[in-house]
Structure 1
């Protein structure tokens, strides 16, 4: 591939298979958690470790759970009272050593049931959690890619298991999704031309979505900021009409992620209104669209977050190369953020 960031991206399908193998060995742990009868759950993490739980959060909400998700930094200081003895607290951190995660663990009562999801079995998170679930993927050479995918997989596995879905059924859906990921990456050479024709970014990049697609929008902002150092904002499609629409003009740039058939008509209507005011919108969808668009393989909506992020990862690389930036190389930060 020529650079570590793209190598990490193309390795994601294989790394998910490694993650799945580990999950198969952790079924008894999840069944023990399920037997405790919790119906309230809070997911928390920082950055992509927060956004990776959006699918699981929504899945459990549809199953009748009180399912919440907070940035760990906000949970510590603004929403800590939401964590009660009836709460199943899921803390996600690839390193298990993020400053906010360690601070939260120090603050929690021992009566709280904590599930730690991490890629580091020797981490503070793994050692201080009531239960640990491991990602089991190779650490990235660049910004978060494989561990983001693993975070989606582990949280979704947990959510489905708590709802009575068997490991076999979860595995069947994920393996089909992995094949779709491989298809997308194999076809990326063909649609990369569309990506390379993306306008030069002189202003803010907007990422728009609803539901699970909004999770991809949030994660996408991290890729644009970290990989290509582009100012980017994630917004719900519905919220965009309530004020932000005023920023649309001939210099406006957005990526619209739309895979939910129930709201696709609403998203398409927003697309037409933005283009009607001169704005540029690039579409990522599993449905046929007018150009410019990347059409993804159709999959079950609970697995869509694995697919929709890949074009954004590659677009961030193309923009970085246009700017003469080495993709995914940290300038001011580092792989693990230990300070608050």
Structure 2
């Protein structure tokens, strides 16, 4: 994260990176994130980086995988075997590994002093307990799943570092319940998706207490004004969100950099419960493979 290490970062899909002839400055490093370490597009992106004289670092779960062998440096996730096709614990481990890497780079580059670094690590040490609190609220996920299980389309909205969590939530719903879902940057809602909103399109918003909370509240109001239904993931005790949304999933308060981890767990559980209620095989969804090894 450039906010901790003050480094310019560009995110890309491995399947796009390899074909777009990327401009890579001298000294750039390509960081690849892969659970299996065998995904064909990721490996091809690493080969493209090497051909351009770039070093690569792999955040990978499977020890001894092709990505681990090809990379110049490896950060193992140590998440253990993940049997289900839809990745959950590996996703969380990838976010944590990236967080730790950002702290390390911030320390080495002098952008983080000792006090700030210790606070960031202290926040991370509290994360398992906070995640346990999120998991303990299991009945609310099934209740919300029953209410929305027959909807055929969902819209997920997030801002800043929670926008990728909206993408992840939508992906999980598609994978395990076969329901169409779209993750979208909340600030772009008025540039198209707002035309879709009615009572048949649930809108899931990620609305923690952060610097864009007021903007997310405005998104919720815009959805409600058009007859839409809102499921909000919000920080515990946020009465204003509770007043505006139809359903609220509460998460404990934590630092802004770790909020995405607490926010993604309810989205994964919601997808799981909807899939189970619809009779889908949530462990082995149709047409999907754990590792995409051919194009």
Same fold (TM over 0.5): yes
Match of 2:93 among 150, 154, 162: 150
Task: State the secondary structure of the residue aligned to 2:285.
Answer: coil
Match of 2:26 among 85, 92, 96: 85
Match of 2:191 among 238, 242, 265: 242
Tell whether the 8 Å contact from 2:35 to 2:61 is kept in structure 1 after alignment. Answer: yes
Q: 1:205-220 to 2 correspondence within 5 Å?
A: 205-220=154-169
Match of 1:95 among 36, 60, 65: 36
Structure 1 residue 61, shift from structure 2 partner: 4.5
What is the number of residues matched between the two proteins?
280
Q: 1:130-149 to 2 correspondence within 5 Å?
A: 130-142=72-84, 143-149=86-92
Distance in 1 of aligned mates of 2:88 and 2:95 = 11
Tell whether the 8 Å contact from 1:252 to 1:280 is kept in structure 2 after alignment. Answer: yes
Match of 2:121 among 158, 171, 177: 171
Match of 1:303 among 228, 244, 258: 258
- Return the TM-score normalized by structure 1: 0.78
Structure 1 residue 62, shift from structure 2 partner: 6.1
Tell whether the 8 Å contact from 2:30 to 2:49 is kept in structure 1 after alignment. Answer: no
Tell whether the 8 Å contact from 2:231 to 2:247 is kept in structure 1 after alignment. Answer: yes
Q: 1:66-81 to 2 correspondence within 5 Å?
A: 66-78=8-20, 80-81=21-22
1:258 equivalent in structure 2: 207
CA RMSD of aligned residues (A): 1.8
Structure 1 residue 171, shift from structure 2 partner: 3.3
Task: State the secondary structure of the residue aligned to 2:18.
Answer: helix
Tell whether the 8 Å contact from 2:205 to 2:232 is kept in structure 1 after alignment. Answer: yes
- Return the TM-score normalized by structure 2: 0.89
Q: 1:1-340 to 2 correspondence within 5 Å?
A: 59-61=1-3, 63-78=5-20, 80-109=21-50, 111-142=53-84, 143-164=86-107, 165=112, 169-189=119-139, 191-286=140-235, 287-288=238-239, 289-290=241-242, 291-340=246-295
Structure 1 residue 253, shift from structure 2 partner: 1.2
- Structure 2 gaps of 5+ residues are none
- Structure 1 gaps of 5+ residues are 1-58
Tell whether the 8 Å contact from 1:83 to 1:89 is kept in structure 2 after alignment. Answer: no
Tell whether the 8 Å contact from 2:5 to 2:102 is kept in structure 1 after alignment. Answer: no
Deviates more, 1:287-296 or 1:102-111: 102-111
1:289-336, Cα deviation, whole Å (9 max, x unpaired): 324101211000100111001111111122112211122322112111
Tell whether the 8 Å contact from 2:197 to 2:223 is kept in structure 1 after alignment. Answer: yes
Distance in 2 of aligned mates of 1:335 and 1:184 = 26
Distance in 1 of aligned mates of 2:263 and 2:149 = 22
